[in-house]
Amino acid sequence: MQKERIALVTGGGRGIGKAIALELGRRGYSVAVNYSRSEKAAEEVVSQIQAMGCRSIALKADVSSAADVKDMFAEAASKLGPVEILVCNAGITRDNLLMRMKNEEWSDVISADLSSLFYCAKEALRPMLKARWGRIIAISSVTGIVGNPGQCNYSAAKAGMTGFIKSLAREVGSRGITANAVAPGYIETDMTSELPAEIKDAMLKNIPSGRIGTPSDVAKTVAFLASDDSEYIQGQVIAVDGGMTM
């Protein structure tokens, strides 16, 4: 790595976001760990990164709120410096068949999973343009590519993220900034722990790699996209799914 880069990971206290924050710490980055409810978990991730010899802070913000996101970026800039690597990982599911889906189940998922990318990328962009270097990485989902019954809201948000990333790549790609998405498949976290065993077994049968993914599988891909080595990868959606959707 050429210099100590500054990263911000939304939803970095738990699950995939935690693995990403720790992987970036392991590679020498300064990491701002965002959380909305899991303060203790986020503080624990911060301690682990600091123990690796890197700077790290926890930042409370609801990323579905433009005002919270604005304050979060201001705090990150004052405590660590301008964010150079943005990882939009925070996300929720509110599954229901479309016929039964409540308006709030739609709007909560669109706000937390998609509008959050708009708010965060907009805040991150100006200093990146000034520095002529930046990495914007959105954690989408294979569901946004192939769909999933009961997830019209989530699939729309995740597909929206990839359309957003491609347009952004076209807007800023010539200015030293890359915008890419990672689309995890079936990864073992709190989000998937509630799935019934028969659905898990059915998904496993469709994974050529023969195993469920780990948060670390996703984190290593994100760390590569965050690095200088990925500079010519632009506007892509990289599936980390053991071949499930190839």
Catalytic residues: 154
Min. distance of Cβ 28 from ligand NDP in angstroms? 23
Of residues 117 and 128, the one with the C-beta less far from ligand NDP:
117
Of 43 and 81, which has the nearer Cβ to ligand NDP?
43
**Smallest separation, CB 235 to ligand NDP (Å):** 19
List of residues contacting ligand NDP (CB under 6 A)? 10-11, 13-17, 34-38, 62-64, 89-92, 112, 139, 141, 184, 186-187, 189-192
Q: How far is the CB of 99 from ligand NDP (least distance, A)?
A: 23
What is the Rg, in whole angstroms, of the alpha carbon atoms belonging to the chain? Answer: 17
Using the minimum distance from each CB to ligand NDP, give the nearer residue, 106 or 133: 106
Query: Residue 190 CB, nearest distance to ligand NDP (Å)?
Result: 4
User: What length does the chain have?
Assistant: 246
Cβ nearer to ligand NDP, comparing 125 with 219: 219
Question: Considering beta carbons, is residue 91 or 242 the nearer one to ligand NDP?
Answer: 91
CB 207 to ligand NDP: min, Å: 12
Other beta carbons within 10 Å of 25: 25
d(CA 135, CA 87): 8
3-state DSSP call for residue 33? strand
d(CA 24, CA 3): 13
User: Where do we find the tokens 């100590």?
Assistant: 4
- Find, among 246, 17, 245, 15, the residue nearest to 147 by Cα: 245
The strand pairing partners of 139, in sequence order, are: 182
Report the C-alpha gap between 27 and 11 in whole angstroms: 19
Which parts of the chain fold into alpha helices (H)?
15-26, 39-51, 66-79, 103-109, 116-131, 143-146, 152-172, 190-193, 197-205, 215-226
